[in-house]
Chain A
Amino acid sequence: KNEVEQSPQNLTAQEGEFITINCSYSVGISALHWLQQHPGGGIVSLFMLSSGKKKHGRLIATINIQEKHSSLHITASHPRDSAVYICAPEGTDKLIFGTGTRLQVFP
């Protein structure tokens, strides 16, 4: 069993839809990171959280440490949100990456 499981693996949406990506992990962590990777490889850090909820613009990330689960939500999705979203729990000073969720938002 993988240490990090993301669902769904692929997601398509119409512009304006509310998006949820889920992440479950089995390791003990100090924090959990959500990353965005665009075609061509560039990775951008979206959130780093260790409890509760964080919000940046249309993006919201939540984490439940007891249940070892985190979610990333995108409100009012837009075609420019199309990317791979990667959940990465932080173990002992290093990140353990999920395989990512490929999101495509159509106009």
Chain B
Amino acid sequence: DTGVSQDPRHKITKRGQNVTFRCDPISEHNRLYWYRQTLGQGPEFLTYFQNEAQLEKSRLLSDRFSAERPKGSFSTLEIQRTEQGDSAMYLCASSLRASWEGSSYNEQFFGPGTRLTVL
């Protein structure tokens, strides 16, 4: 399977613990996005990378959250001192950002998500 993969698929943790999620994008994709989705809501943007550079972080991403993409391939999202409000589905997507004749193309391919439950 050459799609976007995420690990783990489910994580249950106790409040105050640290958790780390991994995303493996489609191999030739230069962009990698992290989103968070709570029940009944649409996804919300957290952060994204162009290759290994983190280009933007949402205000939603408190200092307990950190993301890396060390070699421009896989990415990790770490949440320190988890809180019950962190319970959500964490989605990763990748894209091959390109421009052609004045138009931009940024179709995003999503992974299956990691469902986090903080008790």
Inter-chain contact B104/A42, CB cutoff 8 Å: no
Inter-chain contact B107/A41, CB cutoff 8 Å: no
Inter-chain contact A99/B41, CB cutoff 8 Å: yes
B108 within 8 A of A: yes
Inter-chain contact A44/B108, CB cutoff 8 Å: no
By a CB distance below 8 angstroms, the chain B residues around A99 are 40-42
Q: Which residues of A contact B (CB under 8 A)?
A: 4, 30-31, 33, 35, 40-45, 48, 50, 86, 88, 90, 93-100
- Which single member of A31, A33, A35, A42 contacts B113 (CB below 8 Å)? A42
Instruction: List residues of B (78-119) whose CB comes within 8 Å of A's CBs.
Output: 89, 91, 93, 97, 103-110, 112-113, 115
Inter-chain contact B91/A94, CB cutoff 8 Å: no
In the complex, how many angstroms separate the beta carbon of B17 from the nearest chain A beta carbon? 23
Kindly state the interface size class of chain B when it binds its partner.
20 to 34
Q: Given contacts A41-B89, A41-B115, A50-B103, are A97 and B109 in contact (CB under 8 A)?
A: no
Inter-chain contact A93/B106, CB cutoff 8 Å: yes
By a CB distance below 8 angstroms, the chain A residues around B104 are 30-31
By a CB distance below 8 angstroms, the chain A residues around B55 are 93
Q: Which residues of B contact A (CB under 8 A)?
A: 31, 33, 35, 37, 40-45, 48, 55-56, 89, 91, 93, 97, 103-110, 112-113, 115
- Which single member of A40, A93, A97 contacts B56 (CB below 8 Å)? A93
Q: Given contacts A30-B104, A41-B89, are A97 and B110 in contact (CB under 8 A)?
A: no
Bound: A83/B110 CA distance, A: 16
In the complex, how many angstroms separate the beta carbon of B111 from the nearest chain A beta carbon? 9
Inter-chain contact B107/A45, CB cutoff 8 Å: yes
Inter-chain contact A93/B97, CB cutoff 8 Å: yes
Inter-chain contact A33/B110, CB cutoff 8 Å: no
Inter-chain contact A44/B45, CB cutoff 8 Å: no
Inter-chain contact B108/A95, CB cutoff 8 Å: yes
By a CB distance below 8 angstroms, the chain B residues around A90 are 106
Task: Report 29 cross-chain contacts, Cβ distance below 8 Å, ordered by A residue.
Answer: A4-B42, A31-B105, A31-B106, A33-B108, A35-B110, A40-B112, A41-B91, A42-B112, A42-B113, A44-B110, A45-B107, A45-B108, A48-B105, A48-B106, A86-B42, A86-B43, A93-B48, A93-B97, A93-B106, A94-B45, A94-B48, A95-B43, A96-B45, A97-B35, A98-B42, A99-B40, A99-B41, A99-B42, A100-B42
